Structure 1
Amino acid sequence: MAEAPQFNRVREYRKPTKLTQAELSQAVGVSRQSIVSVERGDYAPSVYLALRLAHALDTTVETLFPLNEE
């Protein structure tokens, strides 16, 4: 099982849209708690959810979930 990403930009992209976590959760079809977990980095979303988040926030999956290549 893959670990949750250590860093993502979901909150950073959500805030300027003025979407609440609840509104974003409704837009992508998950619970508000799922959005909280993704934003905290506690939960790695499925590819489908990552695509839905990127679409809802008008960006790309790669932008929301950058690879931490070190």
Structure 2
Amino acid sequence: MSDDEVFNRISMLRVERGVSRKDLAAALGVHYQTIGYLERGEYSPSLFLALRIAEYFGVPMEIVFSLKPFPRLGSEVTHDRA
């Protein structure tokens, strides 16, 4: 992990909502390959693009982007059995 790496949940949000890379790219006014680069962590978005992505999905930016890896889904849930 490099110090300037930005982690994101773009792919998860996109799949969850049934949005293709091409559809998301068209809505944001970027090339569809840019979405792939973002999802793979090969490109960090500008602040403007990051805000537009969060707005597109209707969530706060920190739901989409983080400077630390996101925990795996379900990892924060503990299963207590009495």
Which secondary structure state, in structure 2, belongs to the residue aligned with residue 44 of structure 1?
coil
Q: Matches of 1:24 and 1:12 in 2, distance apart? A: 13
1 or 2, which has the higher helix percentage?
A: 1
Q: TM-score, normalised by structure 2?
A: 0.74
Number of paired residues?
Answer: 67
Say which one has the larger Rg. Answer: 2
- Identity within the alignment, %: 36
Kindly indicate whether residue 16 of structure 2 is the aligned counterpart of residue 23 of structure 1.
no
1 or 2, which has the higher strand percentage?
A: 2
Which of structure 1's runs of 4+ aligned residues deviate more than 6 A?
A: none
Structure 1 residue identity aligned to 2:58: D
Q: Matches of 1:38 and 1:10 in 2, distance apart? A: 8
Corresponding residue number in structure 2 for 1:3: 4
Instruction: In structure 1, list runs of 5 or more residues that go unmatched.
Output: none
Q: TM-score, normalised by structure 1?
A: 0.85
* CA RMSD after TM alignment: 1.7
Which secondary structure state, in structure 1, belongs to the residue aligned with residue 66 of structure 2?
coil
Q: Deviations over 1:36-63 (max 9, x none)?
A: 0000000000000001111111112111
Corresponding residue number in structure 2 for 1:37: 37
Instruction: In structure 2, list runs of 5 or more residues that go unmatched.
Output: 70-82
